[in-house]
Amino acid sequence: MTERFTITTPIYYPNDRLHIGHAYTTVAADAIARFHRLRGEDVFFVTGTDEHGQKIEDRAGKVGKTPIAYVDEIVSDIRELWQTLGISNDDFIRTTEPRHERVVQEVFRRLEAKGDLYLSQYEGWYCTPCESFWVEGKLVDGNCPTCGGPVARLNEESYFFRLSRYAEPLLQHIESNPEFIQPVSRRNEMIQFIRQGLEDLSVSRTSFRWGIPLPQDPRHIAYVWVDALTNYITACGYLQDPERFSRYWPADVHLVGKEIVRFHAVIWPALLLSLDLPLPKVVYGHGWLLLGEQKMSKSKGNVIDPRQLVRRYGRDAVRYYLLREVPFGADGNYTEDALILRTNVDLANDLGNLLSRTTAMIERFTGGVIPSPASSSLRGQAEETVRRVEERLARLQVSDAVAAVFELVKRANKFIEEEAPWQLHRSGDPRLADVLYDLAESLRITAVLLKPFLLEAPNAIYRQLGLGDAEGARLADAAWGGLASGTKVERGEPIFPRIETEREAEETPAAPASAAPAKAKAEATAPTPVDAGTITIDEFQRLDLRVGTILEASRVKGADRLLELKVDLGEGEPRTVVSGIAEYYEPQALAGTQIVLVANLQPAKIRGVVSHGMILAGKTADTLQIVSPRQPLPAGTKIK
Ligand code: MSP
């Protein structure tokens, strides 16, 4: 039987436009859902909107709209945003839908039948932005401990849910299911929280109307968190479609931000226990995207609009950044510079170049046809990469899973330098077929493994390898050897043109073709007449110029003009380079200096030291200046 996999995001409040903090959760859930589909599982991925409550009612009132008219507009904007980001949710649930209102009312009936609901008086504090009740002792300087905002005093009649009854069973469940709350730091917080004792929870309000009336007492409106959490079972078919419900419930993963773990790991399971329903398998509380050390949030007004980023950089770049930049679970700072750097280094340089170099070499050396190999050097690492991605995603280590794929890309790029296929070609070495096949097959496997994360790149890689699109590819296709010899490559445009910032564009008006914006690029890559005084763009591209950082420098014994440099090129092992700059630079002053290295120069032995590359410098009659990037760049950055 096909395995099934259910994953949810929080349902978002449609009180304002969503920002990249919300996109962060949704894109991560999307990647996990896509990964399970790639494995051939029957996936149910649901997101939606949490539309009731005082916050929405207040907000709509302020702009003179009815609550439903107000949320309708924002909800359609949210749906559009998820389309823009390529979110593959199977359902979109709105808490204002009749299917959900019926379920919430039935839940209240069942809680009462179980003896878990009673009428009393709530006296305490309420934070409307967080829709949370707080007892006096939990407030921080009189404010909400979650958002830091002001709280209001409430004194109203309310139904209570006997949460206190479930403290023990919950603790037992958490202790015997170590994977239930993740990461482990949040699990420990929750254990501590429950050990302090749970008070019964107020689950209805009477001071506003925008919500679901309790069937037993319609003056009372269901507490918005009970309403919201119930969405997960409504979406799976609870009380509507028993077969579907038993298939998709319990959820495998509730993915949420860390500030709402408490609702998902305490209140929600207690409600489910009361309803005699199975508990979700994992509640994962990820960290926050921060802007200048503060949580990005609508109430603070420090938000970044994901739509604008997609327009500027494309959705693959935005998805890649969100998935890769911050170790999943931790907080991380958002900066646009980091997004640009990630795109330029990982996507444009590493992945984009690997594809264009590989297809270019196959065109030039084997007539555009994937050759038939005799043996493989990259197979081991490719197979290991598939295992790593599976293992890391199973543990929801999204960023680490993406990183594993890019390790393979880096390895393949390095393999080109090591094997220098152009030399194998020149000398008629039959190993050329092995090397080119290794590269193309690693790229194909990379494309399959990237399918959960990126939407356009896997298809583009497949197309350029002559394989059509990658839509039908499954994880099983990541097995080594799937690429048929004889396939004809179809070399195309660079899949990730480097992002040039405006500042860079001003400083380098004559930027090389592959770095130029799209329009100029089309002109620049048009065939150029070959003449003795010029080189073709392909010839230029054979030069592998890279930024390196000098780690240490020392004099070469018996040679006045030579220094031996150890240069970090981001390859792990530093490179040894011998350079004739000893008359102009003191060795100890060079550590940390960035240089540009011709990285694919044939190694040469100079005064007994093997030099792997040559650094660039300008020389006049009386000075010599090393060429350095104006601003530091990551070691290994390609110069184009
Ligand atoms: N409606 C409730 C959730 C109910 S679930 C049954 C809610 N909605 S929300 O619109 O405020 O969205 C909160 C969620 O958005 C967070 O839990 C997190 O998943 C995501 N994020 C919002 N801001 C974020 C960051 N700055 N960083 C990371 N995620 C963030 O709470």
Strand intervals (E) in 142-292: 152-161, 181-182, 201-202, 204-205, 213-214, 217-222, 253-257, 282-286, 289-291
Q: What is the predicted pLDDT for the residue at 318?
A: 97
Residue with the bigger pLDDT between 263 and 513: it is: 263
What length does the chain have? 640
What mean pLDDT do residues 276-304 have? 89
pLDDT value at residue 505: 44
pLDDT score recorded for residue 520: 31
| Range from 166-170, 351-355, 500-504, 506-510 carrying the lowest mean pLDDT | 506-510
* Per-residue pLDDT at 506 exceeds 80: no
pLDDT at residue number 603:
66
- 591-611 burial code (b ≥16 CB/10 A, e <16): eebbbbbebbeeeeebeeeeb
- Give the per-residue pLDDT at 280: 98
Q: To test ligand 1's pocket by mutation, which of 17, 260, 289, 290 has the most ligand atoms within 8 angstroms of CB?
A: 260
Report the pLDDT value the prediction gives residue 523, as an integer from 0 to 100.
29
pLDDT for 620 beyond 60: yes
Q: Which residue has the higher pLDDT, 622 or 152?
A: 152
Q: Are 284 and 256 in contact (CB under 8 A)?
A: yes
Least confident window among 41-45, 467-471, 503-507:
503-507
Q: What is the pLDDT of residue 530?
A: 35
User: Could you tell me if 216 and 112 are in contact, meaning their C-beta atoms sit under 8 angstroms apart?
Assistant: yes
Report the alpha-carbon distance of residue 313 to residue 532 in Å, rounded.
Answer: 39
Strands 91-94 and 117-127: unpaired
Going by pLDDT thresholds of 50, 70 and 90, the confidence category of residue 536 is low
Shortest-distance atom of ligand 1 to CA 295: 26
Nearest to 27 by CA among 295, 323, 321: 323
Nearest-CA residue for atom 5 of ligand 1: 10
Instruction: For ligand 1, pick from 24, 234, 326 the residue to mutate: most ligand atoms within 8 Å of CB.
Output: 24
CB 31 within 8 A of CB 453: yes
| 515 — pLDDT class (breaks 50, 70, 90) | very low
Domains of the chain: 335-478 (1.10.730.10), 505-626 (2.40.50.140)
pLDDT in tens, 441-478: 999 999 999 999 999 999 999 999 999 999 999 999 99
Structure tokens at 476: 């099983």
In this predicted model, what pLDDT tens digit does every residue of 223-280 receive, in sequence order? 999 999 999 999 999 999 999 999 999 999 999 999 999 999 999 999 999 999 999 9
What is the rounded distance in angstroms from the CA atom of residue 586 to the CA atom of residue 12?
60
Percent of the chain with pLDDT over 70: 93
In this prediction, residue 514 has a pLDDT band, given cuts at 50, 70 and 90, of very low
Burial class (CB in 10 A: 0-12, 13-18, 19+), 398: buried
More confident residue, 330 or 301: 330
Ligand 1: atom nearest CA of 268 is 6
- Edge-to-edge strands of the sheet including 217-222? 204-205, 217-222, 213-214
Long-range CB contacts for residues 454-459, cutoff 8 Å, separation at least 24: 454/316, 454/319, 454/320, 455/86, 455/315, 455/316, 455/319, 456/314, 456/315, 456/316, 456/495, 457/316, 457/347, 457/351, 457/495, 457/496
Query: Looking at this protein, which amino acid is placed at residue 569?
Result: L
Nearest CA to ligand 1 atom 6: 229
Of ligand 1's listed atoms, the one at least distance from the Cα of 229 is 6
Lowest mean pLDDT among 158-172, 323-337, 495-509: 495-509
Ligand 1: centre distance to CA 214 (Å): 26
Predicted confidence at residue 623, as pLDDT, reads 84
Residue closest by Cα to atom 13 of ligand 1: 12
Look at residue 601 in the predicted model and tell me its pLDDT.
Answer: 79
Q: How far does residue 133's CA lie from ligand 1's centre (Å)?
A: 18
What is the structure's pLDDT at 502? 56
CA of 26 to the centre of ligand 1 (A): 10
Coil vs helix vs strand at 437 = helix
Q: Which of 7, 11, 12 to mutate to test the pocket of ligand 1 (most atoms within 8 A of CB)?
A: 12
In sequence order, what DSSP letters do the residues of 260-327 get, joined into one string?
GHHIIIIIHHHHHHHTT-PPPSEEEEE--EEETTEE--TTTT----HHHHHHHH-HHHHHHHHHHSS-
Nearest residue by C-alpha to atom 23 in ligand 1: 21
Task: Give yes or no for residue 331 having a pLDDT over 90.
Answer: yes
The residue whose C-alpha atom lies closest to atom 16 belonging to ligand 1 is: 257
Q: Please determine, for residue 170, whether its predicted confidence score (pLDDT) is greater than 90.
A: yes
Pick 323 or 572 by higher pLDDT. Answer: 323
DSSP state of 349: I
Confidence band, pLDDT 50/70/90 cuts, at residue 518: very low
Q: According to the model, what pLDDT value does residue 532 have?
A: 45
**Residue in the structure block whose two tokens are 């300087």:** 141
The pLDDT mean for the chain works out to 91
Query: Which residue's alpha carbon is nearest to atom 25 within ligand 1?
Result: 21
Closest CA to 451 of 18, 47, 103, 32: 32
Looking at the CA of residue 13, tell me the nearest atom of ligand 1: 10
Exposure string of 274-312, with b = 16+ CB inside 10 Å and e = fewer, is bbebebbebbbbbbbbbbeeebbbbeeeebbebbebbee
CA of 13 to the centre of ligand 1 (A): 8
**Ligand 1 atom 20: the closest Cα is on which residue?**
22
Percent of the chain with pLDDT over 90: 78
Ligand 1 binding pocket, CB closer than 6 Å: 10-13, 21-22, 24-25, 50, 228-229, 231, 256-257, 260, 288-289, 295-297
Best residue among 22, 26, 232, 253 to mutate for probing ligand 1's pocket (most ligand atoms within 8 Å of CB) is: 22
Nearest-atom index, ligand 1, CA of 257: 17
CA-nearest residue for atom 12, ligand 1, is 12
| Predicted local confidence at residue 560, as pLDDT | 84
Q: How far is CA 637 from the centre of its chain?
A: 22
Nearest to 350 by CA among 637, 639, 640: 637
What burial class does residue 339 get, using C-beta atoms within 10 Å of its C-beta: 0-12 exposed, 13-18 middle, 19+ buried? buried
- The angle at the Cα of 296, spanning 294 to 298, to the nearest 5 degrees, equals 125
Indicate the range of 265-274, 380-389, 526-535 predicted with least confidence: 526-535
Cα-to-centroid distance, 23 and ligand 1 (Å): 9
516 band by pLDDT with thresholds 50, 70 and 90: very low
Position in ligand 1 atom list of the atom nearest CA 289: 27
Nearest CA to ligand 1 atom 2: 12
Q: Is the dihedral of CA 356, 361, 362, 367 positive or negative?
A: positive
Instruction: Give the C-alpha distances (Å, rounded to integers) separating 180 from 188, 191, 252, 282, 313.
Output: 11, 12, 10, 4, 37
Phi, psi of 30, rounded to the nearest 5 degrees: -60, -45
Residue nearest atom 8 of ligand 1, based on CA coordinates? 12
Half-sphere exposure of 120 (CA within 13 A, CB side): 13
Pairing relation of β-strands 282-286 and 253-257? Answer: parallel
Phi, psi angle pair for 218, to nearest 5°? -65, -5
Q: Whole-model pTM above 0.85?
A: no
If you average pLDDT over residues 176-204, what whole number do you get? 96
Is pLDDT above 50 for 495? yes
